[in-house]
Amino acid sequence: MTLTQPDRATTTNDPQWWKSAVVYQIYPRSFADSNGDGIGDLPGIRSRLDHLQELGVDVIWLSPIYRSPHADNGYDIADYHDIDPVFGSLADFDALLADVHERGMKLVMDLVVNHTSDEHPWFIESRSSTDNPKRDWYWWRPARDGFAPGDPGAEPTNWESFFSGPTWTLDETTGEYYLHLFDTKQPDLNWENPEVRQAVYAMMRWWLDRGVDGFRMDVINLISKDTALPDGAPGVSGVGNGFPYYANGPRIHEFMQEMHREVFDGRDGEHLTVGEMPGVTWQDAVLFTDPARHELDMVFQFEHVNLDHGPGGKFDPHPMRVSDLKASLGRWQRELGTTGWNSLYLSNHDQPRSVSRFGDDGLHWRESATALATVLHLHRGTPYVYQGEELGMTNAPFATVGELRDVESLNHYRESVIAGHEPDTVLSAIRHIGRDNARTPVQWDDSPQAGFTTGIPWIGVNPNHTWLNAAAQRDDPASIYQHYRRLIELRHTLPVVAHGDFTMLLADHPTVYAYERHHEDTTLLVVANLAGDAVDVELDVESYDLLLSNTEDCVAPSAERLALDPWEARVYITTSS
């Protein structure tokens, strides 16, 4: 395949420019460190823009870089209008944004407004007295009827936080509890209060005026809650499940439409909005992403990344079947249809590495990473590449709990061990699903700290950087990096990738993922064996040309049958004229 100059998203005047775009997520802490303090930073990102430009991505999404005490690595914001000193300054940010734009890419900020840090001035005011003007900016409630503040079970509801323990913390100053769906240092903002909403919209406009190109909105479907705050039904652990009362609440669509109106209406330029939405159904996703409703361009749904969670939740591992993955992704393709729009992802900073989770990070490492990427990128939707995924970075071999850094894993470990679970079993589940897997430093080369830092990294570098690194892959035509380049180029150059419809093929096959995309006179056929055994399937590709494959010696198909090696992926194209 000849590589041509990508048709960059910035050169179009299409309001839905993001259909032919690919987004690259940077977790700044772990991307590139310029000053040797062991933490990635903005000048570090600037120094690595060549890698992204050569890859061909259109948009960079930065995980939070705002001022923060880092209880949750920046997802706890203390100042929405400043850069945290560990990442740099506003001047560094402006320089990065200028460089990104200069290279024809866009930059999207993380918007974390379901909650702030408990060190945000709004919360400091809010907690200071029951009659402070900002008291109602957060969710404050007295102890449960019949209980004294601090009594066991006195929390206003029985909900369990995403990061273990109750969602309520008692504040001694006023003797009331505040709500935090995540860590105790992440109090939830009260979106019922119009002043809160206006403050958020003003902040968003401030960043857009500074030149950013949009927002990835953190757990945005949690901002509308059932104001009655009812107890949840007890789950496996006996703690109440508050999810039905705080997710996808009654005013969520109203808030999204208001945000669109207040922030984006009448604003020139090409923007991207993507809402992270745990538990969102496809029915709701259609509503959120129908352009006629003016809410969001796309959402991140969670169905496919929850398939390996057992009844006890994410730390209760459950085998993942390819057939379940096909059924789930296929349903989203079908149901979002031509009205809504999908975000396509297999990894991010909250998920284990995709090659370790869905593929084979041993014998078939290269083939499985490229097969998964092929299947994902050629779906209908906007693909997201998480840093290091384009190199096939793998889960980390954390040997002890002392090597972990993530608040979610550490809280879970502590609570589980206190509850009497075997520490090794708990650690083994964390090793499998924990978020630190995605947060080890990007492996740039084979030097002692993988070219990430000259200091001591805040979290250990994966020992496999000696052979798995960007320098080793950049000029190797058979590398995972080069395969991602080719996939991204297909989206830029072939309208059928960006705009075609989707039909699942071989729907009942247990391991082969196959589908067709049609647009005008072109049909694309994607087929991949997502397993470690060779397979032979009934698929007639005789009228097609082979466009791309992830093996060098792919065997020509015989009439009506296709033989695929382990983790082999092929892309065929035909044009009727």
Residues near ligand NOJ, by CB under 6 A: 72, 75, 112, 182, 218-219, 276, 349-350
At 213, phi and psi to the nearest 5? Answer: -110, 10
CA distances from 78 to 63, 75, 82 (A): 15, 10, 9
Which residue carries 């400043």 as its tokens?
82
At 47, phi and psi to the nearest 5? Answer: -75, -10
Cα separation, 453 vs 390, whole angstroms: 20
Residue 11 CB neighbours (<10 A): 9
**Partners of 34 in the beta sheet?**
none
* Residue placing its CB nearer to ligand NOJ in the complex, 17 or 386: 386
Cα separation, 443 vs 446, whole angstroms: 8
CB of 256 vs ligand NOJ, minimal distance in Å: 17
CB of 350 vs ligand NOJ, minimal distance in Å: 5
CB of 352 vs ligand NOJ, minimal distance in Å: 13
CB 55 within 8 A of CB 477: no
Instruction: Clarify whether 422 is annotated catalytic.
Output: no
Cα separation, 282 vs 506, whole angstroms: 23
Cα separation, 264 vs 271, whole angstroms: 8
CB of 407 vs ligand NOJ, minimal distance in Å: 8
Cα separation, 524 vs 547, whole angstroms: 9
Side-chain-side CA neighbours of residue 400 (13 Å) = 2
Instruction: Clarify whether 560 is annotated catalytic.
Output: no
294-309: string of b/e by CB count within 10 Å (b at 16+)? ebbbbbbbbbbbebbb
Active-site annotation holder among 218, 308, 489, 568: 218
The one-letter amino acid code at 358 reads F
* Residue placing its CB nearer to ligand NOJ in the complex, 218 or 295: 218
Give 151's DSSP letter. S
Tokens of 171: 């504040």
**Partners of 169 in the beta sheet?**
178
Active-site annotation holder among 276, 360, 361, 568: 276
* Residue placing its CB nearer to ligand NOJ in the complex, 350 or 516: 350
Name the pairing type of β-strands 512-519 and 503-505: antiparallel
Give 264's DSSP letter. I
Q: List all residues 6 or more positions away from 50 whose beta carbon is below 8 Å from its beta carbon.
A: none
Question: Catalytic site residues?
Answer: 218, 276
